[in-house]
Structure 1
Amino acid sequence: MTIKTSQTRRQFLQSSAGLAATAASVSSGFTIVKAESVRGTQANSKVAIGWIGLGGRGTRDAYLLEKTGKAQIVAVGDYFQYRIDNLFKPMAAGQDPETVQRPALAGFDKKNAFVGVDAYKAVVGSKVDAILMATPPGFRPEHFRAAVAAKKHVFMEEPLAVDTFGCHVIAETGKQATAQKLSVVVGLQRHYSKAYRKCKE
């Protein structure tokens, strides 16, 4: 029986060379690469977060992320200037981040605070590893698509869209994120709360 193949001699030699290189690497034990080549950031460093939507829910999300000690807010964006102003307004006497549940933003460079309808583009284009999205849901599909196009991991609050078109954009962008091996998480933590589930029974 004759087996036909479309592979050329050149393609065969190239693939063989690749396999040989891989085998040599494995036989030597392991290959050392730079941490940033794997994670996109230095080993043992905090995950750089870009935060879009500085309202109440987003503020609490940012606070909780910062509280883990493993994430740092390095860029923020909102449509309204007063949201930016409130974020950096000194806390009242006696207040602390634990009570107010507002991120401390220690060492934040205010040059990375963006305002306006296109603020999300500046945040997504910043040197961040992941994007926190807490804008009104009508903007979520467009913002999600921009983040995935920029190869950023995403945490986004629900709801994810307000119409059929937006739902299709979310679904299609989700497939693209999967293909790029990006992490995408939706804020559905209440659905997994034991107390919440008990009340539904």
Structure 2
Amino acid sequence: MTKDNASKSSDRRSFLKTTSVAATGAALAGSVARTAHAAGLDEIKVVLIGCGGRGSGAIVNLFNTEGNVKLVAVADAFPQKAEGLLNSLRKRKQYAEKVAVTPENIYTDLNGYKAAMDVECDLVVIATPPAFKPQQFEHAVKKGRHVFMEKPVASDAPGVRRVLESVKESKKKDLLVAIGLQRRHQPNYLETVRRIHDGEIGDVISQQVYWNGGGIWYRNRTDDQNEMAFQCNNWYHFNWLSGDQICEQHIHNLDIGCWVKGEYPVECNGMGGRGQRMDGDPTKSQINDHTFCEFTFADGSKMFSQGRHLKGAWTHVGEHVQGSKGTADPSGWLAGANEWKFDGPNLNGHQQEQHDLIAALMRGDIYNEGEYGALSTFTAILGREACYSGKVLKWDELLENGRNLAPNIDDLTLESQVPESARPDDEGRYPIPVPGSYNPFA
């Protein structure tokens, strides 16, 4: 490793260890890491960008906190999703009075988020496909809004760089930035990782992280959809929108592995492909259904990663750690000389992260999870590009020069042509990455 690369790796280690220790101690005390203080909020006005499953879930979780939360505006590419969410909330007696969205504050198409954020609010919830989050987060920060943003925060290296720049601006403005990596708010993970960082299993030598499941949803094309509308409605199946399964779901486990290690990897090699995805039909989806990655950290230790959607195969979601003095499952136990098992409350992470967020805003405590959200997202992107290309990829080189999957992302509408990276050929087949020929720097 060169001197410059060693310095960059040291910076990553220093950042992650500092923020992890602060967050661990504070959260176990019933709070969240305090980095700034502002006037507390008696009422919290929320704007929701993205009214799909995770956006709907986040709003319900926010409504279930002890805060005086009001939903004042929504935006979604598709009007039926925005209306559907509002109708659902209004039918539930415990939530109806928290919905303060007037008809003129419902915004649609891909650029509706700008007008939605013009509505007077305190908090913006961004729960859109990963491709759109960098510019939406950037706009929220420019408007001076606190932000909750779901993971992953981007789908390519340029998007991650953009988020990192916005994180810097958010810190200058003392904005709260929360990221939907909810395990970092769960007491079982917080306590276990604290013990690992305290040396109870010795030095971390290797890890295995998994998101192995059976499959995901798919929405068939309708006669009234153009290509852009079809892809946005079916966003998980397109690399430029979702970043593939390793980004969209497996990021959770990769994030835990990097948190445990106290740093981010310096390189990765991997392999993957499509064994069952849509029965191999390239006219329906372009993402892989299995990946395997070997991430290498600066000290040479490894994190091995499995992510897949394969029916009939072994399913497992979790993380496992081997240390010089013992082993650990970050979800709640240690084995070896310091054997231990977590016996505290088993809290719902999605709900707990919103309890922490609203409690902090009510107190006037400001914390910022944006940087580790971006770096964990890039860990997943590094793995994906290693699998797609079949090459050993360096963190610093890919972050600086990785390909842009949607160069005109800010200008897209539902009437736009889809990006070239997902443009079907004359027979309707989408580009499929082929190891050995795919260029991660194109």
Per the normalisation by structure 2, the TM-score is 0.32
| Secondary structure of residue in 1 paired with 2:151 | coil
The CA distance in 1 between the partners of 2:61 and 2:186, in whole Å, is 16
Report the Cα offset of residue 96 of structure 1: 4.0
Q: Which residue of 2 aligns with 1:61?
A: 58
Give the paired residue count.
Answer: 155
Q: Could you list the runs of 5+ residues in structure 2 that have no partner in the other structure?
A: 1-37, 193-317, 320-328, 330-442
Alpha-carbon deviation of 1:130?
A: 1.4
> Which amino acid counterpart does residue 171 of structure 1 have in structure 2?
L
C-alpha distance in structure 1 between counterparts of 2:105 and 2:133, whole Å: 21
Match in the other structure for 1:138: 131
| Matching residue of 2:82 | 84
CA contact under 8 A between 2:124 and 2:145: conserved in structure 1? yes
Higher helix share: 1
* Structure 1 pair 194–144 and aligned structure 2 pair: CA distance change class (3 A): same
Relative contact order, higher structure (CA 8 A, sep 6+): 2
Deviation per CA, 1:128-171: give whole Å up to 9, x if none: 11100000010000000000011111110000011110000000
Amino acid at match of 1:70: N
Q: Helix, strand or coil for the counterpart of 1:88? A: helix
The Cα of 1:88 is off from its aligned counterpart by 3.2
Tell me how far apart the structure 2 counterparts of residues 193 and 78 of structure 1 sit (CA, whole Å). 30
SS at match of 2:87: coil
Could you give the per-residue CA deviations for residues 153-196 of structure 1, whole angstroms, max 9, x where no partner exists? 11100000111100000001100110111111101112443566
Q: 1:136 to 1:97 in 2, by over 3 A?
A: farther
Q: Which whole-Å CA distance do the structure 2 matches of 1:118 and 1:80 have between them?
A: 11
5+ residue gaps in structure 1? 1-37
1 CA distance for matches of 2:106 and 2:130? 21
Task: State how 1:85-104 maps to structure 2 within 5 Å.
Answer: 85-89=83-87, 96=92, 104=96
Q: Tell me how far apart the structure 1 counterparts of residues 47 and 185 of structure 2 sit (CA, whole Å).
A: 26
Aligned mates of 1:126, 1:107 — CA distance in 2: 12
Q: Give the counterpart letter for 1:57 in structure 2.
A: R
| Percent identity of equivalent pairs | 31
Question: C-alpha root-mean-square deviation of aligned residues, in Å?
Answer: 2.6
Q: Distance in 2 between matches of 1:161 and 1:97?
A: 36
Letter in 1 for 2:160: C
> C-alpha separation between the residues in 1 aligned to 2:140 and 2:155?
19
- TM-score, length-scaled by structure 1: 0.68
CA distance in 2, matches of 1:107, 1:126: 12
**Whole-Å separation in 1 of the counterparts to 2:159 and 2:93:** 35
2:127 paired with 1:127:
no
CA deviation profile, 1:15-58 (whole Å, cap 9, x unmatched): xxxxxxxxxxxxxxxxxxxxxxx64xxx7631111110000111
